[in-house]
Structures are given as C-alpha cells and as structure tokens.
Structure 1
C-alpha cells in the first residue's frame, strides 16, 4: 500500500488501520521531519513500521524521484491511495513548475505518480483476483466551487487571476474525479480499479489556510478523522469495491453521484492528453 499525504490527517489514519491489518505501507509526504515522526508514532501504535517515501507533489522532478525509489524497492503495488492534497492556499502560490498550486498538487502530481508506477499492473497480473486499485480522494467541493475545467487556468496567467482560491480548489477536486474516471476506462483491461471519493467533512490540518473565522465555524461541524478513513478504506480493501471502478463514493462507504459533468468522456480525454503533455520528456 502507498498513501500520499501519509504523515498526517486522513492519510496517517489510513496508514494506521492498514498497518494494524498487517499490510506493508509506504507513507509518502514532502517533509522528512514530520514523516519520520509519523513513522515512529505509527510503529508505536500498531507494532508495525511503515516506510517513509519522500515526495513533493508540487515538484514533478520530486515525483519522478519518489517513483524511481519505490520501483527500486518493490516489484508490485496493490493499492495506491492518492490521498494528499492542498486546499485554499494563498492565491499567488504556484508549483515549482509554474502550475496553479492546487491543480498542480491535487491532479497533475498524482497523475504523474500513478503513471510512473508500473507496479500497479504487475500487482494486478499476480493477484488472485487480477486487480490492483487506485483510490483518488476528491471532495464535495468539486460540486460547490466551480464545477468545471478551464484549461487556461491550470498554469499561472491572466485567466487564473480571475479565479479565487475556492474556485481553484473546486476545479482541482473536479479534476480528481475526471482523472479517476478516465483511468478506470483506459486501464480496465489491465486490471486497474480506479475509484474517486468524498471522504466527508473531516477535521484535519487541510483547512489551515482558511481564515480563523471559517475554521472556528467549521470545527463544530466537522467529523473526526477516524470517520474520514472509512470510505477510502472500503474502496481500497474490500472485495465488494472491486466492482466499483469508475464510481464516486460518499460517506460513509456508499456509492454516490458526482457532478454529472465529470463523466463527460470528451472532457476526460482532453484532460488526460493535457496531463500527458505536461510530463512528456521529464
């Protein structure tokens, strides 16, 4: 198992449950210090030690290096949890490569990581059920904030300057669903099960960029992180979820309906082609 954003929040809790069930777990995160702390904490809690994998999703070279490191250690990967992400960072922030920080991290970084892991198809080929899984954490924000894709805003420029942080976030979460659906379509014959989901409104550090007033208002409405893992653990581990490729799940561990525009196959092909173009030659 490989969990991005595994050093905190839903990612760390996911890793904890997986470790307690004797899975071999890699927790991927950008900060080596917090990563080491998470490894120690998880080992103490579960008696099993996860492996830390340094990856900074805002830097495509870091993503490539992380994939190469994983490839040097493991012949297969049964489940990839594309769990990490950012929400509402300061508008002016972009990725190392000049993309909108939210779209570059939440969508492009995860696309590139997924693309660079042939261990997924290797796992499917060797698995008794012939499957491997990619679980893509989206959000109900894909419906609320700007449920669409404006390709001119994926990189910094005049068009992007017209959108605020919330609309850019919603667009990235919309992109998560579109990517997940297209991955399911393209890799069905290779045994890849791809599921997107809304984990619930969960109290984590993801909201650190919100205003104090917004955080105070939200805190009494949010669910604990122990509930936030339920849907993605169901998607990533249960036999029943093997039949849910291309679906969108909602709390708690139910099949739901994403925004209808996320299932436009022409838009999905356009997004996939754009993503491929960004990582060509890296």
Structure 2
C-alpha cells in the first residue's frame, strides 16, 4: 500500500532516491512526450536516455529550440510532432503523422497541460480549455495511438508499453466532476478557474486508471503522477483575477527547479520497479501513493470514459 496521498509531505518531499542517473538505457525504444518543448516535458525529453523521442507540441519554433538544447546536451536529436491538444482535429492529424512513420510506441508521456487560464478561453470544439486539453485531448491522443502502443508491448523484451499521465496535487482538491462545466456555457462561467483545473487533474487520474483497466491485460502499464510543485511556464496565468492569492501561497512554499519535475514521471515510465504498477499513482519524489478517493470510483471512471468517447464521436466520428 502506498503512502497516504493527501499527506502534506508532497509539498516537502524527502530527497529523491530515484534520479536522472537511474533512468535505464532506452535504446530501441520509441517515446512521445506531449508538451515536450518546455518545463517538465522538456526535462523528460532531455532525460529519456537513448530513446527515439517525438516532442509533441503546438509551436514548431519552441519545439526546435528544445530540440537544439537536447542535441547540445546529449548529442541526440528529438523529432517534432505537431500537436494541439485543444483541437480534436489536430490530434487526429498528429497521430496520423506519427503512425505514418512508426508502427510501434513504447513510452507515452501525457505531460502537456493548461492551468488557470482566463475563463473565456475554450478549446476549438467549445470545451473548457483545461478539461478539453488536459483530459479529453489526452484521452483521444492515447486512444488513437493504442495500436502502436500494443505493438510496442508485443515487441518489447518485457512485453510492456507504458503510458504516464501528468496530474497534480490539484486532484485532491477536486470535489468531483461538474458535468455542466465541461462545455462552455452559463454553468461553466460560474465556476472559478482553479476549480476547473482541479477537476481536470482528477480527470487525468480517472482516465489513466481506465486505460489500465482496459488495456492492462494486453501489456499496457498506465500510471498517473503528481510531479510536484515546480517552477515552469504553467503558472503564466497567475495574474488572472482570483488566481494570484493561491499562487502566492504556493510561491511561499517550495517551488523546485524544473528538473525535479521529471523525476516522478520518469520513474513511473522507465524504472523496472514500476513495471507492474498498472493503475498506480506516484508523487514526489518517485513514491507510490493514493490519489483523491474519488479517483478510485470505478463508476465515475466509466462515466468519464463514456463521456470522452461520446465527445470524440460527435466531433471527429
């Protein structure tokens, strides 16, 4: 049994016992990191040792800078994969592009995310920007890539392929899923942006657990993580009304350097110790823990999965 996940120790974790030096050699593995152009995603790309890494991001310009940094630091070259998780059509194009080049995928880091944007920002399909990007976008991306993940599991010596979804401590702060707030409308506009973020992070854990249930017997190891309180561009909306006081509270605690943020998801995605951790949740630094109790609700997970399927069917068939 993992440690109690609601423990305040997640804000002040003990010194990590798993570090970048412990990431095993990944020669022959193919990986995708969403949001790999900056922050925790960039660090994950940099530290994914010897894997063939696709850096999935919206901005080709920012991605190219990250790719140059990777080459300068490691001599390895990542590959750009255009992806806008807030647009279901873009997700479909992105996966088609990847699948035209690769038949296997061994590591998928669903790392990209949006936090606390202005309430008037929504996805291309009219969903709350945070839920549409963080949850629905990654759901669709993962499902379209599942054939390659299953092929990757079949070809791997350990017969596994891994999907790691980045949640946050915010999952504990969610009271559940407010179904009326997932698409734009009067009900959504009444919910503050922090609450919308928290429910998206709960949604990340729910979907990760559903992937584990549905594909675990086929070699897929699906986990989710709280990477910790990290200094990244994710906090760019801190001037949004109502957000600043919460950010100041966190700022007064400990915000760790960005390389710390990759530790827990690299542990979940690459360590031999987590090979049989399907459906588990990990917290700083590289510790198993329990998520929000609502994330363990099978009925809620099933309902969210069905909702995601329905939205995809409506917009992209």
Same fold at TM > 0.5: yes
Q: 2:93 aligns with which of 60, 65, 72?
A: 65
**Range moving further from structure 2, 203-212 or 23-32:** 203-212
Q: 1:123 aligns with which of 152, 156, 163?
A: 152
Task: Give structure 1 stretches of 5+ with no counterpart.
Answer: none
Matched, 1:12 2:42: yes
1:37: which partner in 2? Answer: 65
Matched, 1:2 2:35: no
Q: CA deviation at 1:152?
A: 1.5
Separation in structure 2 between the aligned mates of residue 55 and residue 119 of structure 1, nearest angstrom: 17
Matched, 1:263 2:291: no
Separation in structure 2 between the aligned mates of residue 158 and residue 271 of structure 1, nearest angstrom: 21
Cα gap change, 1:89/1:28 in structure 2, threshold over 3 Å: closer, same or farther? same
SS in 2 for 1:187: helix
Separation in structure 2 between the aligned mates of residue 123 and residue 104 of structure 1, nearest angstrom: 27
Separation in structure 2 between the aligned mates of residue 213 and residue 37 of structure 1, nearest angstrom: 33
1:254: which partner in 2? Answer: 287
Q: Please, what TM-score do these two structures have when normalized by structure 2? A: 0.86
Separation in structure 2 between the aligned mates of residue 205 and residue 177 of structure 1, nearest angstrom: 22
Q: 1:113 aligns with which of 141, 145, 158?
A: 141
Q: State how 1:74-89 maps to structure 2 within 5 Å.
A: 74-89=102-117
Q: CA deviation at 1:219?
A: 4.2
Q: Please, what TM-score do these two structures have when normalized by structure 1? A: 0.96
Higher RCO (Cα < 8 Å, 6 or more apart) = 2
Separation in structure 2 between the aligned mates of residue 148 and residue 224 of structure 1, nearest angstrom: 31
SS in 2 for 1:268: helix
Q: CA deviation at 1:143?
A: 1.0
Q: CA deviation at 1:147?
A: 3.0
Structure 1, residues 81-135: CA drift from partner, whole Å, max 9, x if none?
Answer: 0000000000111000000000000000000000001100000111111110100
Matched, 1:226 2:259: yes
1:236: which partner in 2? Answer: 269
Q: State how 1:87-236 maps to structure 2 within 5 Å.
A: 87-117=115-145, 118-144=147-173, 146-211=174-239, 218-219=250-251, 221-236=254-269
Q: CA deviation at 1:218?
A: 4.0
State the 4+ residue runs in structure 1 displaced beyond 2 angstroms: 211-221
- Contact 1:99/1:154 (<8 A) preserved: yes
2:9: which partner in 1? Answer: none
- Contact 1:203/1:219 (<8 A) preserved: no
SS in 1 for 2:275: helix
- Contact 1:147/1:259 (<8 A) preserved: no
Cα gap change, 1:216/1:266 in structure 2, threshold over 3 Å: closer, same or farther? closer
What is the RMSD computed on CA atoms of the aligned residues?
A: 1.3
